[in-house]
Amino acid sequence: MTTRELERQSVVRERALSIPEGAPVELRTSGRRRVSGELLATEDEAVRLYHNAGGTYVESVWLFDEINSIRRLDRPRFPRLGFAGRLLALVLSLTLCLPAAELDLRAKALQIPIGAPILLKTTASQTLRGHLKAVSDGGITMQLVQNNSISERTIPFAETKSLKQTNKRMHPGYVVLLTFGVLWLFGAITAAFINS
């Protein structure tokens, strides 16, 4: 017998000795057979089991070198993971369902080129439109046009709710689809006038 087989046999023996007599158990044999029944006794080299064999209940003896594993059937397999496991599965599934977290505002502001038109919403529900002037550790400096006067204002990141660039160019694919749509509409209207 190899060392690994001896260790497995020792683990199976310890587990069998920890199960009280009369408890429902399941044996998994080295031939991949599963035998379920009531544990009658655990001896030094074998386990006595009362189980159903073809419609009749018989008492049988299984040597530890024939058994791969033994487990109780009257207890859940992972008793400590009952509620905690379900809670962990729920938390993990919810985190996978959430949208990817946006970059923090400073990183987002650094990605916008200086001078680009931006739309900024503050935590006080104020919407500001202007041009990005500078990004510092403390906040965003933007140029605002209000009442025909240009002013600069620095808004701290703590007071900033959201920030986005307003005049991004359209995606080339969108431009192509829009062009074909307009041409198709023009052709349909022209065909309607010609046929009428």
| Phi (first) and psi of residue 136, to 5 degrees | -120, 180
Q: What is the pLDDT of residue 79?
A: 61
14 lies in the same domain as 34: yes
7 belongs to a structural domain: yes
Domain that holds residue 196: 171-196
pLDDT in tens, 79-110: 666 777 788 888 888 777 654 444 578 888 88
Cα 95 to the center of its chain, rounded Å: 5
Q: How many domains, the chain?
A: 3
Tell me which residue of 148, 160, 171, 159 sits closest to 119, measured CA to CA.
160
10 lies in the same domain as 64: yes
147 lies in the same domain as 111: yes
Number of C-beta neighbours around residue 16 at 10 A: 20
59 lies in the same domain as 21: yes
Angle made by CA atoms 168, 171, 174, in degrees to the nearest 5: 125
12 lies in the same domain as 65: yes
Amino acid found at 112: I
Average pLDDT over residues 34-54: 88
pLDDT in tens, 100-151: 444 578 888 888 999 889 999 998 999 998 899 999 888 899 998 778 788 9
Task: Give the whole-angstrom CA distance, residue 130 versus residue 93.
Answer: 40
13 lies in the same domain as 59: yes
